[in-house]
A and B are shown apart, each in its own frame.
Chain A
Amino acid sequence: MAKKQRTKRVQKPVVEPKPQIDFEKVQAETLWVFEQYGEQAPRLNGVSVLQCCAYDVIQMLNGTFVAEVSK
């Protein structure tokens, strides 16, 4: 009798749910973080340079999150 051929058990791919991102909330929170913590960060000639990076950080985070939800 022919040996029963074993079939490889194929593991079903685990589909992770897409992250749900509330962009308006994230945007407001990024701004909040940079305003609050930027106030406390070391200053140079009166300028909180960290606070001034908020625009670029928001762009970067929005890009990251858009990429995340569109995977």
Chain B
Amino acid sequence: MKILFSSHNDFVELAKILFAQGHQIAAIQPGFRDVLHGLEIKTDALLDIVTQEDYLQAAKYSAAVINWMSRVDYQEMPIDPIMRSALEQNIAGFTYSRIYDLSSFVIALSKYRPDVIVVHNDVEPLLRTAAQWGAANGVPVVHVPHSVYLDAGRGAPGTDVHDIITASYIAAAGPFQRKWYEIRGMPPENIRETGFVHFDKVATVVPNRKLACHLLGLDPRRPVVMYASSWAQSTNLLGIHNGVQTYYEKVLKAAKTLEMAQFVVKCHPSDRNLGWHVEKAKGLPNVIVTSQHLPIILQATDLLLSYGPSNVLMEASFMPQIRMMVSSGYEGDPEVVQTGENATPEKIAALLKDSLSKQPVDKSTFRIKYCGPSDGNSATRIVKYILDVTKK
């Protein structure tokens, strides 16, 4: 069977299992093909099979779409005038090159014709195109989300691009995510709770705090606070304010007053704003900043404070010694303490001190709700789901 993957680290495990079973693996992007080649998984790269003639066909189609767009009357649309003006002025020029790229990809999909497609989201242009192509051509598309989304700060369901569902099936982490997609219109029978591959990695870890502290250069006799910072996601409402910066500055002020604690600031692994975080923490002897080493940091951590909802809380829920705290989100979960987005540095410091003085609570209810089955076998379950949907 020909199985096409989007480029996502978690899919390496799935590709390994499927390749060993004799399936033909393909990657949408050549970069991911190279990663799999490095692991001796023979992989086709879809974008490599596009020919000159295909590009010509793509150019003709793109011109037809732009021509169609030029006849759209934005004046008649019931939308905000500022939006209307932005669409009128920018939209055709902005979308042309994207339409051209994506139409080349559609042609490649039609030539390669995979039996099943696996994507880590179905909203980014390339991946939504794959999902639409699958829907139009009778090829199942399994969406294995890379994150468990929460509604905090995103607007009502149906107003955010992540609310659009194009893939035919979803491998949800657990019951919370199942419900999230059902609310957005996914038929319940097209969702299976499988757990996530990246939770497999923490599910089997027996935390060794002393060793983890040693590896990070921390003193195991002093408390360790992980601050999971964030980045402004510009596709939704989280990207329109400076909450990431403001809250981080308050956490650093709190760290100044809690000299006995050691702070590990964990930035998003994409490194988008690592330099800025490092710069801000200069001169604070009890703060280190990194975007890497999460599995080690989790083992060293006594208390996790996260800026807003994050997968890191789910990973932390596997670690019995961690207390969990957020700026906002998880209001219905007693395992998580909320500081409030507008908390002062003094309030943050007081809450950190108070939580550190208490024993960590049992987090299994939280873990099952958000992570689903947490036995380290999610990859096997997802592979089974991928193969099952091809038989429908």
**Contact of A27 (CB < 8 Å), options: B99, B132, B155:** B155
Given contacts A30-B83, A55-B128, A59-B234, contact A45 B240 (CB under 8 A): no
Asked whether A53 lies within 8 Å of B99 as measured between CB atoms, the reply is yes
Other-chain residue from B62, B79, B107, B235 in contact with A62 (beta carbon distance below 8 A): B235
Task: Kindly state whether residue B43 has any CB partner on chain A within 8 Å.
Answer: no
Q: Cβ of A26 and Cβ of B82 under 8 Å apart?
A: yes
A16 adjacent to chain B (CB < 8 Å): no
Residues from chain A with Cβ under 8 Å of B124 in the complex: 55
| Total contacting residues, chain B, CB less than 8 A | 50
Which listed residue (A45, A48, A51, A60) contacts B107, Cβ 8 A?
Answer: A45
Q: Give, as a whole number of angstroms, the nearest-CB distance from B83 to chain A.
A: 5
Contacts of A19 in B (CB 8 A): 82
Which residues from B are CB-within-8-Å of A21? 80, 82
Task: Mark each residue of chain B from 56 to 78: 1 if its CB lies under 8 Å from any CB of chain A, else 0.
Answer: 00000110110011001000010
Per the CB 8 Å criterion, the residue count for chain A at the interface is: 43
Inter-subunit contact A23/B240 (CB<8 Å): yes
Whether the pair A41, B237 counts as a contact (CB closer than 8 A) is no
B159:A50 contact, CB within 8 angstroms: no
Distance in angstroms between the alpha carbons of A57 and B68 in the assembled complex: 17
> Quick check: is B136 within 8 A (CB to CB) of the other chain?
yes
Binds A, one of B87-95, B253-261, B308-316, B320-328: B87-95
Contact A26 B80 (CB under 8 A): yes
Which residues of chain B are near A51, meaning CB under 8 Å? 128, 132
Assembly CA distance A65 to B237 (angstroms):
12
Say whether A15 faces chain B, with CB atoms less than 8 Å apart: no
Tell me, in angstroms, the Cα distance from A46 to B110 when the chains sit together.
Answer: 10
Query: Are A52 and B83 neighbours in the complex by a CB distance under 8 Å?
Result: no
State whether B95 touches A57 (Cβ < 8 A). yes
Residues of A within 8 A of B106 (CB): 44-45, 47, 49
A49 to B102, Cβ gap below 8 A?
A: yes
* Docked complex Cα distance between A21 and B161 (Å): 19
Question: Does B187 touch A at the CB level, under 8 Å?
Answer: no
Contact of B86 among A37, A46, A61 (CB under 8 A): A61
A27 to B80, CA, bound (A): 11
Of B72, B94, B237, the contact of A37 (CB 8 Å cutoff): B72
When the two chains form the complex, which single residue of B83, B123, B129, B135 contacts A61, counting CB atoms closer than 8 Å?
Answer: B83
Knowing that A30-B83, A33-B77, A49-B65 touch, tell me 17 more A-B residue pairs with CB under 8 angstroms.
A23-B240, A26-B82, A28-B158, A42-B61, A43-B136, A44-B107, A45-B109, A46-B135, A46-B137, A49-B129, A53-B99, A54-B164, A55-B125, A55-B161, A64-B90, A65-B82, A65-B240
List A residues at the B interface (Cβ < 8 Å): 19, 21-33, 35, 37, 41-66, 68
Seen from chain B, the residues whose Cβ lies within 8 Å of a Cβ on chain A are: 61-62, 64-65, 68-69, 72, 77, 79-80, 82-83, 86-87, 90-91, 94-95, 98-99, 102-103, 106-107, 109-110, 123-125, 128-129, 132-133, 135-137, 155-156, 158-161, 163-164, 234-237, 239-240
11 A-B residue pairs with CB within 8 Å:
A31-B161, A31-B163, A41-B69, A42-B65, A42-B68, A44-B103, A45-B107, A52-B102, A60-B90, A61-B83, A68-B82
